[in-house]
Every structure is written in structure tokens, then in C-alpha cells.
């Protein structure tokens, strides 16, 4: 049993963390912070937790020592507090972007701002368990992957690792939900404007490109990806349609083998390529609230066009679920503890 | 051909007015104002008008004289400018709430603020053509009904006029869309929060109660209504389910006769009570963009419970369509001019 | 640990039962039947259970003895098989309508068909634990309430029990989801037609009226209710807005006391009447997947109009959750076992 | 003034044709057929036309001669009747797939069935006015493009015509609406299943590929395209995100010039690449009911990745609007007649 606190618990990622942690049998939630809502019950903001908890938000300055600290601040904020946070807890899991990139220059060029704690960049382990399980087990500090990066990396990793695809020809066409943009109201998130859109908000140059390239480059084999992001009518969930080319000689069987071999013991990866029913490829709506990443693919052997489809809950495997999975590994708990909700159907 | 201007044209009601007016063959749109967007093309805010108009917003202070002025400001604003506006145009159609209520006390108690131009209250005609056609024809100033008031009044008017229902027993259960709340982003309009809600935002005491009671009271026969408002997943459209009691001796035939007699020549009222197909009662989604008010009903003769169902487009018959219909009457144009769009199916 | 089977497991209620039972620590799911899908994996129909179970559907005739049998057939079917089922299991929980009504005549007049097993009507206990906990504990056969009946009964029960409202003046305005209509495709459930509707499919005479009146009548105090059902854009969830009148002398405090006293120890009832935040009254979307019934109210003391708002997940507390709760009681398990999922936010 | 009839008028394309034709000032709608609904009012199926028309469906065999016949049958049907239809009308506009492809072999391999009227393949002009205006003017028979083909062709045509992109590297990632699948209920179109999906129903091998390649190949410059189709929460509308590579030396200016030059006089093409507002790229929801095709693009000069975004209303420019535009050209009417509805906002 450990005591954990959540910094930035009024956001959507923070709220989802709280939901998972309150039902985690090895964890006691000690404090949850919110600058805007300090003093208020968490259920004012997260009404799904009514009857589950009496917790109130406190201010960040009221945080006391704990066994593990989740940091769920907006991108660009945690680096300003990390020194202090490291004094409060020996283990920190950050769901923001600040410590994901190993390379200072890459961070500064993609995020357009100076990194104030670049000396710590090397101390964080990227939080995707399927790629970094051993490092996470021994880590003190974790930087969870961005939601679109997570699903893209997991969808492509076996193909890249096994050398099956052209690393210069990877296009990620992401279908995005409104919760990815956070909980701050703007005109573009205003219901009458945002509802039922098919809105290309980033045709090129999505920031997660940097993470994906980092995680899919091994030695001198560098991957180059291009990300296109389109918002659709969806509050929660994320699907990527990845268009790539297989290398000469690669067969469909090679692809199957790659996924099966690399993910054969993964509790949260499912290969979804069905021949019956109406849910034949991954779909995000049945993943809401889960920690699954579902992956499917289709190959046109003639043109070598390979379509890979990956789906997650952006707040689940894409944020809070990934963070809890990392915590489980760090703390030696069974990896699926608190993460077994299977999703709903119909929904 | 007349020159018209629209004050407050960046809002949803103003935008819909603009859409109707730009295709109205008797009208030239002269100026459209917006404090926030002055100088910008109207298509930045109303992207459906791309290729249709090159108009730019101007500031309210740049308004010049015109033949007819539409005022589409938020509630509580037009009264502060009405003196000035009356100097710019001899005909004014106000879509806001400021001049709808005849009684100063009623206004001040429902809107909770002082009316700064109460001397003008008597000069405005309430804009629902089906009740006030003759007065509108001779009017200089029109106050259009609120959207929920409009559909409620139209649904009930023949029943009240013919003395068929208990005036002390009228419950209006309104299903509301997000565009009714205007275009200002707030947490409650934030897509991730507003999406798919069934949110009781006003269980009792909706402001439109006052208008409805005003319009449905004749002489010493006063109507008392209770309005419950529930927001649902809908951007545009409004449906009221009205629960009332028929008086002793009233039959279903009496109800049919009342609607048919009173609305027999109305171009924008349709009685929808079908026995086949799947659209048997009024539904707002097929009214988007139209000026129709569809009305249906069902009677339980034994318990005397009468359910009346009314549907409109809140921005159409509920705001801009009603305003254009009033303009047509005031100017002697055929009443349906510019208002013939029939709505889409499927949608 | 008991062995349970589910008859009719390919429907939406059956699928939700399966989801709950597969994670219930006191239960082993033995068999699940489907006439249409016998031989197929359950995950073909319920894709959320991928990786959770390898169960296949069998035919109803393959059912063997079990400790407890859930019957999730369409209305009007279970009565044809009940004799046989009673030989397979000593405990039966039926989620259909066949055995809910105690009175044969009432059944036959509301459902328009002959009851082929009327001798068994008296042997079933109505499954709402909050009203019938003691009987359920000792029961062999349970008939779970209909989803709209359940939320209506729970919302009204304390008011009726304490004699606070006019039993002749109860109007239930239900906002309904598409999963309530089951999984059989029809033109009215076709996405392009059903999407975004506000469709009055039963302005009067909804079948659940009979159950509600049965459960809210005590001795010679008979309740009369009128149900209006409107389908809205929602797959899962149900909200009722109940319009009633308080009796003379009743105060808001009396209402609070009634709810608090009667529901004070209920784990799945929450009174939701908030003064801050945007989720001030019950809302179904945050109840998806849960067994909660949230209840709120607003009173206009002057007109005596009382608005009661109740929300549930129609497949949760409205069907499968209610059934599992009854099972827990019958089997002496803690009542909340397997039912603690709190719902998601945002969603 | 011409007399026109519509064969297959109960479908979604047929219904939209009817809506357009009933308001077209040069057209009288003579007959509309439906095998399933013969004898019934068209408003039973198309409720938006209530009050607009009293037309009833007749059987196909009751069709009499007319000046122009629209054929809106499901794919694979019109070829069986075309001989007869040609005797009824000298001008035929077919919205189905039967006569779109010039090459018999291509048809039979993509549609998997024998073409029973292959001798007529050469007599039909492909109906996209922007590519074939002159031929349409002189044509007797028109085969309108498929909806996804239409938006893809229009988005790519100037780039291909001007030789700016790699013809072997064109990936079309289509976001599809439910009305594209027609009005026949199936499990995959069932609201509880179809709602809010992000469903990859054709990762590769969409049938419209053939049309797109036909229309974008000129002489020995053959285009090869790959189409991926994903259904999203949308009833009406279609957006394609096209991923392609510019050829060496091509600049953003070349792309702008190509679109501007080729589409400069097109009334229904709009280039949408805004630098302010929230609608910066094409979006289908504001195109509902319109005949517009909106096109935008973004270029990464370094990687040569060009993203082209095209949006239409699948039932508008994608079907019925395209057909009416072709009719206007064939009959010498102003090309925009009956097609000026600008779309709604918000919606």
C-alpha cells in the first residue's frame, strides 16, 4: 500500500487518474491539487466520483511528501516545478510533454520554448511499458507518452523493430476527440461549433511527431513520420490510420508474426482483424475507460501499401491508464492491477 | 427593394438573419455590425457564407440610416441603444428580450434588472405573425418572441383561444439545443462537457414563462404555465412536450377543429400527426434552416391528459425566420419570401 | 462461488450481464445462449469482451443445470420456456416483462397478448432491491423492473410512501436512448434516421405505466401515472423528468427528509441537487456502465409544481445491474459486489 | 420548363433530387417511383417535403415519357432497365455506378458482376461538370460520379492536370457518413452500433478507386490511387484527406496557381485555406444541403508531403446536386439554378 498524490487533478487526465487510483487496491490517494478549485470537492469537477470519494482539492503548495506523485499539469508546466516535486516524492510519473524528449534541441524546436530543466531530460524513462518495461521497473521518473504518440508507436513498433516497412514513408492520419484538447473552453471547443466537425486542425506538423520518431528510431535506423490530425465527433478516444509501405519481400505472414511475437505476452495489446461481426478493426468507442490498445492492419501486396489501424482511449492508455500501468511496474504490483475495466457495448 | 442593416450580426441569430437576407430578393444588406469582429469578413465567423458575400463587419457606431434595422443583440442590451437606433431607421425588428413584455414589473421581476426604456415597452408589437399579423403590418417596431416562447405559444394558442384546456395546468417540457445559449464559450458549453448531455438546466422558472403567459392570456382569462428546460445533444432545434388537461366535454375532434380553423391559412404551421412512417410527430432535425413550426398532439380522453408536441428551428422560426416573416408583412412583401427552404432529410 | 448461465446473451441486456458476471468474483459463467449466434464466440457480438473471455454461444436447448439462471429474452418469450427453465435452476432472474405484473388482466391489457403461464405470476418478486430487499433475499424467482419503470419508481417511491404528492397527478416525461429498443435493425433505428432525433414515439400509453402504478400503489392508495416517451440522441442512458404536485402543507424540507430517510443506506441511490459545478441534476451520460440511480428535484412552492429528475443507465440499474444486485442479495453476497464501476467523465 | 421524373425516389439520393427539383423554377416533377412505397405520399419517406408537395410514389412500370429522367437506383440495377428507360426519355441522368466506367473489364473486376449492357458504356458522359462541361452540354446520357470519387477527383484534378504530383503516390483517407450506405437497415447501420464509430470499413480496395483512376489518367499518364474508408459519426457529408507527394521543383505557389487557374470560374468550388477563424480547412457539416466542393491543402516542402483536404455533401455535390448541375448544363439553364442554398451555421 502506497500513498500517492496527483498534481493537476482537475484536468481530464487528472480526473481519470483519480478514478483509477480510487479503485486501486494497493493505493491510497493522499492529496489532489487544483489551483482553480482548491477547497472544493473533487466531485464538483468529476461528477462520476460522487459517492466514491470525499476528497477536496488542495493547492499545489499544500502538497506534502508521498510515496509516488503523479503530475498531470498542462504541457510546459511541470519543468518549472520538477525540482520541488522531486523533494516531495522519490517516484514521479509525469503525464505532460516536458520530459518525453531526450534531445533538448528537438524539444525546443517542436514546442517553441526554452526548456528550463534540460539537465533532467535524461533522467526520465518514456512511459510505454511495451517498449520500456525493464527501464520502468528501475526508474524513479517516468514521462508518459502523448496520447497520439502512444497509439502510433504501439501500432508501428513491431513493424519497425522487425524491419518490415519503409522508415521514410510513414503517414499517420489521426482521428481525434475533444477531450484531447483539455478542459479549457474556447470558441473551437464550443459545442455548437465543435459538434459533428471533421476538422483538420493540424494537416502537418503535429507535435507528437517528435516523440514518435524518437521511439521508432533504433541506432542509425531513423524513422520519419508525418502526422495529420482531424477532429471528429468524439469526446473520448483516438484512432490512427497509418499509411506506410512494406519493404521488398515482406509478406502478410511476416506482419502477423511480428505483432504476435513482440506482443504475445502483453496484457493490454489486442490484434483486431476479424472476419465476422461488425467490429472487424480497432474502434475507440468500445475502449472508453480501458487501458487497451487495439491494433489491426490490411495489406495490398501488389502496391505494397500497408494500412495499420490503432485505437486507444486517449485518457486511458493514452494518459492515465499508461501512468497507472507504469506505477504498477515501478512498485512491483501485478501490471494489470486496477486496469481491468473492459469497456462497454453498446455505447 | 429596401436597405437593411443588422446590429449584432456575429451572433448565431444575426448570422442566420444574414443568411436569409442575402438571398431575399427584395432586400439589400447594407451594414452588419460586430464589436468583437469589426473589420473582419463575415465569413470568418459564418463560414457558410463563403462565396456568397464579401461583407465585412463594422462597429455599431458606424451604422448609417437604413430602411429597416434588425437588432440581434444579447438580451438586456438593445434597450440601452434603442433611442439612437430609432433615429437610424423607422422600422426596427428586435430579436432580443428587451421589448417583448408589455408589463414593466413582469420584465423586471423575470429579468432581474431595471428596464432603462420602459416608456417604449408599449410601442413594440410581439413578433409572432400567427397571433399579431394585422398589428405587425402597421407596426414600426417589432419584438420577436423568444424561441421557446414561440413554439410554446404557437402550440397552445388554438387550444387556449377556443377554451379547450385548463389554463392552470400547463407544463412545458422543453428539449433544448446548444445554439440557444449563444456563441460565448463557457465550461457548460465546452464540447467534452456539453456533448450528449440530458441536462436539466432550468427545472422551473425559465424566463420565457412570462412571454408565454402574456401571449396566452386574453382578458380575464389568464394562463399559468410552468417551463422545464433540458439541454440535449442538439446544436440547432427545439422541441416542447406540453402536458395539459382538457376541460370537461372537450373531444379530440374539438382539438383538430381548433388547429385547423385557426391555422388553416398559415404557410408556416403544419399539423403533424401521422399514422405511417417513422416521423409521426414533430421533430426538430428536419426543420433546421426552415421557418416551420410543426405541431402534433395525443389525447388520453379518460384521464384528460393532452400531450401537445411542438418543434421549430430555434434560429429559424424561433429567431431569424420569425424576424424576416415580420419584415415581409411590414413591407408588404409576400409573407413567405426568402423563407421557402424546406429542410433536409436525412440529416 | 456459483455457476450461472445466461439465456439470451446476444442482446444488449444479456451482453451487459455477461460483462458484469465475468468480473464478479463469486460467479463462474457456465453457459450463454443465442439462437442466432450459437457456435460463435461471444466477442463477435460483444467486442468489448475481447481478451476477457473465450466463451461461445450455445443453443438454448444445450443449457444444462446451473445454480442461478439469468433469462434475458425479449418481452413475451420467457413465459413460454419458464417451466423448463425452472427445472434447470432453482434460482431464476428474468430481465423481461413477462412476470413483472402481479395482475393477469393488467398484463394482458397492456401487452395485448395472452399470458401462457399466469399461474406463475405470483411466484416472482419484482426486482428493485430498494423496495423489495427482504423478499428478494428469500426469493427463488425475480422479475427485474423495466428500465423506465425502475428509474420512475425509484424517483417517486419516497414521495409516495410518505404521502407527499397527489397520486392522480404524475406525469413522467422520459428521454430515451436507442439501446432501449434492442438490437434488431429497423428503419426507425437506422442511423441516418435515428441520429439526433427528438422523436415522440409514445406520447401516451407506454407499457411501463402498469409496472409503475403497481409498485407505487399501497393498499387503497392507488397511483395513476402518465408516461410520455421521447427518443433522443443517446445510445445508452435514460432520464425521466417527472411533473407532479405536492399536497397541501408539504414543504421542500419534507421532500428532502423523505429521500434521505428512505434511501439513507442505499449504496446505489444518490440525491443530486448541487449548487455549483455544471452537473447539478442527474445526468445519464456519467452513469454509463454503472448501477446508480441519481435523483434530484426542484419545487415551486407557490404553484405546488414539483419536478423530480431521475437518471440511470438503462442497461445498468435498468437491466443487468439490477439483476446482479438481486443475485447478490439472493446469494448472500455483499450487495455491491461486481457493481462498483463509477462511470466515466468526460465522456 | 421541362417535365422530369425520378426513378428510385424513395432512396436518399432520390429524396434529395426531389427536394432540389421541387424548387427548381425550370422543372416540373412529373412522376417519382418506388417499388416499396408505390401509392404512398412521398412525405411518408421524405418528411421534409410536407407542405411542399402532394406527390405520391408510383411503380416503375407506371412511368410515362418525360423530357428528362433521373435514375437513382442502387448500384447494379439501372443497367437492367436502361433499354426501356431510353425509350421513355431522350435525356437520362443516372446517379448509380453502372455506367461510370468506360472499361468493361474494370467494371467487372471492381463490381464483381457481369455488365449486361456493356454496349452502352461508351454512351454515358461522366457527370462532373468541372471536368466534362462541354461533353455534358451535348450529352444525352450522364453517369454521375460516386460521392467519394467526386470529391477526390475534384480535389486532385488541378494537381494532376498540371503535373505537380507523383501519380504513383496518392492515398485517399476518406471520412464517411451513414447516409452513404443508403437507407436499408442492417446491424452495422443500427443506431446503437453505428453511433459514434470510427470504423474502418474498407482499409483498402474501395470501389470508387476505379472511377478516380479513370478520371485522373490522361493519355499515358496513369494515376494510381489507394482509398481507405472510415465511417465516423456523421449522417451526411464526406471529407477526404489526401496524402500525396509533390514532384521535384514544385512549390506551394504552383499549387495555388493550379487551383486558381483551373477553378477560377467554377461556381461550386471554393478554395478554403484560412488564416483566421476556426473553419480554416474544408468541413462537411457546413456543406449539408449545398452543391459546393470545398478544397484546401498544406504542404511540407521539405518532405514533399502534400495534404489535400476536400469536403462535400455526399447527397449534394456527391449525388443530387451534381445531377441537377448536369441537367442545368444539358438544358441550357444557368448552371447554378436551384443550387444556391449556402448551408447552415451553426449546425
Query: What's the pLDDT score for residue A306?
Result: 98
Which of C12, C186, C195 has its CB closest to that of D235?
A: C195
Whether chain D has a CB inside 8 Å of the CB on B49: the answer is: yes
Q: Are A221 and A164 in contact (CB under 8 A)?
A: no
Q: Do A192 and B189 count as a contact with CB atoms less than 8 A apart?
A: yes
Whether chain B has a CB inside 8 Å of the CB on D23: the answer is: yes
Q: How far is A94 from A14, CA to CA, in rounded Å?
A: 11
Per-domain boundaries in chain A:
2-123, 148-314
Please give, rounded to a whole number of angstroms, the shortest distance from the CA of C179 to a CA of chain A.
7
Nearest to C310 by CA among C207, C199, C170, C162: C170
Instruction: Write the pLDDT tens digit of every residue in B278-295.
Output: 999 999 999 999 999 999
Percent of chain D with pLDDT over 90: 100
Which residue positions in chain A have pLDDT lower than 70? none
With CA atoms as reference, the chain C residue closest to B284 would be C198
Q: How far is D85 from D120, CA to CA, in rounded Å?
A: 13
With CA atoms as reference, the chain A residue closest to C275 would be A44
Instruction: Write the pLDDT tens digit of every residue in B78-132.
Output: 999 999 999 999 999 999 999 999 999 999 999 999 999 999 999 999 999 999 9
Catalytic residue selected from C58, C66, C147, C293: C147
Query: What's the pLDDT score for residue C130?
Result: 98
Q: Do B305 and C171 count as a contact with CB atoms less than 8 A apart?
A: yes
pLDDT tens track of chain C, all 347 residues?
999 999 999 999 999 999 999 999 999 999 999 999 999 999 999 999 999 999 999 999 999 999 999 999 999 999 999 999 999 999 999 999 999 999 999 999 999 999 999 999 999 999 999 999 999 999 999 999 999 999 999 999 999 999 999 999 999 999 999 999 999 999 999 999 999 999 999 999 899 999 999 999 999 999 999 999 999 999 999 999 999 999 999 999 999 999 999 999 999 999 999 999 999 999 999 999 999 999 999 999 999 999 999 999 999 999 999 999 999 999 999 999 999 999 999 99
Q: How far is D245 from D247, CA to CA, in rounded Å?
A: 6
Task: Please provide the average confidence, as pLDDT, over all residues in chain B.
Answer: 97
**Chains sharing 3 or more CB pairs under 8 A with chain C:** A, B, D
Whether chain A has a CB inside 8 Å of the CB on B192: the answer is: yes
pTM (two decimals): 0.98
Q: Would residue A147 show up in a list of annotated catalytic residues for this protein?
A: yes
SS3 of chain D: the string is CEEEEEECCCCHHHHHHHHHHHCCCCEEEEEEECCCCCCCEHHHCCHHHCCCCCCEEECHHHCCCCCEEEECCCCCCHHHHHHHHHHHCCCEEECCCCCCCCCHHHHHHHHCCCCCCHHHHHHEEECCHHHHHHHHHCCCEEECCCHHHHHHHHHHHHHHHCCCEEEEEEEEEEEECHHHHCCCCCHHHEHHHHCCCCEEEECCCCCHHHHHHHHCCECCECCCEEEEEEECCCCCCEEEEEEEEECCCCCHHHHHHHHHHHHCCCCCEEECCCCCCCCCCCCCHHHCCCCCEEEEEEEECCCCEEEEEEEECCCHHHHHHHHHHHHHHHHCCCCCCCCCCCCCCCC
Q: How far is B271 from B256, CA to CA, in rounded Å?
A: 9
With CA atoms as reference, the chain A residue closest to C12 would be A346
With CA atoms as reference, the chain A residue closest to D245 would be A169
Q: Do B173 and C297 count as a contact with CB atoms less than 8 A apart?
A: no
Catalytic residue selected from A71, A147, A293, A331: A147
- Interface pTM (ipTM) of the complex? 0.97
Collapse the DSSP code of C199 into the 3-class scheme (helix H, G, I; strand E, B; otherwise coil) and give the result: strand
**Which residue of C186, C194, C196, C236 is the best one to mutate when testing the B interface, meaning the one whose CB has the most B CBs within 10 A?**
C196
Q: Which residues of B touch A186 (CB under 8 A)?
A: 185
Cell digits for B71? 437588432
**Which residue of D39, D51, D266 is the best one to mutate when testing the B interface, meaning the one whose CB has the most B CBs within 10 A?**
D51
Q: How far is D265 from A340, CA to CA, in rounded Å?
A: 59
With CA atoms as reference, the chain B residue closest to D267 would be B51
Q: Which residues of B touch D22 (CB under 8 A)?
A: 342
Whether chain A has a CB inside 8 Å of the CB on D192: the answer is: yes
Label residue D19 by pLDDT band (50, 70, 90). Answer: very high
**Which residue of A179, A198, A227 is the best one to mutate when testing the D interface, meaning the one whose CB has the most D CBs within 10 A?**
A198
Q: Do C345 and A47 count as a contact with CB atoms less than 8 A apart?
A: yes
Label residue D200 by pLDDT band (50, 70, 90). Answer: very high
Judging by DSSP bridges, how do beta strands B269-271 and B199-202 pair with one another?
A: unpaired
Whether chain D has a CB inside 8 Å of the CB on A303: the answer is: yes
Q: How far is A338 from B165, CA to CA, in rounded Å?
A: 58
Q: Are B149 and B293 in contact (CB under 8 A)?
A: no
With CA atoms as reference, the chain A residue closest to B179 would be A192
Q: Do A191 and B190 count as a contact with CB atoms less than 8 A apart?
A: yes
Q: Do C305 and B171 count as a contact with CB atoms less than 8 A apart?
A: yes
Which of A175, A278, A346 has its CB closest to that of D230?
A: A175
Question: What is the CB neighbour count within 10 angstroms for residue D220?
Answer: 5
Question: What is the CB neighbour count within 10 angstroms for residue B71?
Answer: 28
Which of D230, D234, D300 has its CB closest to that of A233?
A: D234
Please give, rounded to a whole number of angstroms, the shortest distance from the CA of C12 to a CA of chain D.
10
- What topology is assigned to A2-123 in CATH? Rossmann fold (3.40.50)
- What topology is assigned to A148-314 in CATH? Dihydrodipicolinate Reductase; domain 2 (3.30.360)
Q: Which residues of B touch A190 (CB under 8 A)?
A: 183-185, 189-191
Whether chain A has a CB inside 8 Å of the CB on D116: the answer is: no
Which of D48, D183, D343 has its CB closest to that of B286?
A: D48
Label residue B167 by pLDDT band (50, 70, 90). Answer: very high
Whether chain B has a CB inside 8 Å of the CB on D190: the answer is: no
Q: Which residues of A touch D347 (CB under 8 A)?
A: 196
Amino acid at each position: 500500500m502506497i500513498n500517492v498524490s496527483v498534481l493537476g487533478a482537475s484536468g481530464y487526465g487528472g480526473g481519470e487518474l483519480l478514478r483509477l487510483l480510487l479503485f486501486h487496491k494497493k493505493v491510497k490517494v493522499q492529496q489532489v491539487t487544483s489551483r482553480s478549485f482548491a477547497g472544493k470537492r473533487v466531485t464538483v469537477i468529476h461528477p462520476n466520483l460522487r459517492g466514491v470519494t470525499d476528497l477536496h482539492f488542495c493547492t499545489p503548495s499544500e502538497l506534502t511528501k508521498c510515496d509516488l506523485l503523479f503530475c498531470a499539469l498542462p504541457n510546459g508546466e511541470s519543468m518549472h516545478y520538477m525540482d520541488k516535486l522531486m523533494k516531495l516524492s522519490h517516484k514521479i510519473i509525469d503525464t505532460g510533454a516536458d520530459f518525453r524528449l531526450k534531445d533538448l534541441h528537438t524539444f525546443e524546436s517542436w514546442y517553441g520554448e526554452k526548456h528550463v530543466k534540460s539537465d533532467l531530460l535524461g533522467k526520465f524513462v518514456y512511459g510505454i511499458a511495451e517498449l520500456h518495461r525493464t527501464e520502468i521497473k528501475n526508474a524513479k521518473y517516468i514521462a508518459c507518452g502523448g496520447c497520439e504518440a502512444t497509439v502510433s508507436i504501439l501500432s508501428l513498433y513491431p513493424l519497425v523493430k522487425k524491419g518490415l516497412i519503409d522508415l521514410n514513408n510513414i503517414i499517420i492520419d489521426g482521428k481525434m476527440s475533444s477531450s484531447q484538447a483539455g478542459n479549457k473552453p474556447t470558441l473551437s471547443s464550443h459545442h455548437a461549433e465543435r459538434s459533428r466537425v471533421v476538422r483538420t486542425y493540424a494537416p502537418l506538423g503535429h507535435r507528437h511527431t517528435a516523440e514518435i520518431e524518437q521511439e521508432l528510431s533504433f541506432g542509425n535506423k531513423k524513422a520519419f513520420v508525418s502526422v495529420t490530425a482531424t477532429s471528429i465527433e468524439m469526446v473520448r478516444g483516438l484512432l490512427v490510420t497509418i499509411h506506410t509501405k512494406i519493404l521488398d519481400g515482406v509478406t502478410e505472414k511476416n506482419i502477423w508474426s511480428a505483432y504476435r511475437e513482440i506482443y504475445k505476452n502483453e496484457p493490454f495489446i489486442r490484434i483486431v482483424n476479424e472476419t465476422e461481426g461488425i467490429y472487424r478493426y480497432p474502434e475507440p468507442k468500445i475502449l472508453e475507460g480501458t487501458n487497451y490498445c487495439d491494433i489491426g492492419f490490411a495489406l495490398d501486396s501488389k502496391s505494397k501499401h500497408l494500412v495499420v489501424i490503432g485505437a486507444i482511449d486517449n485518457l486511458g492508455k493514452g494518459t492515465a491508464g499508461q501512468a497507472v500501468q507504469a506505477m504498477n511496474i515501478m512498485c512491483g504490483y501485478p501490471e494489470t492491477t486496477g486496469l481491468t475495466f473492459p469497456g462497454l457495448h453498446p455505447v
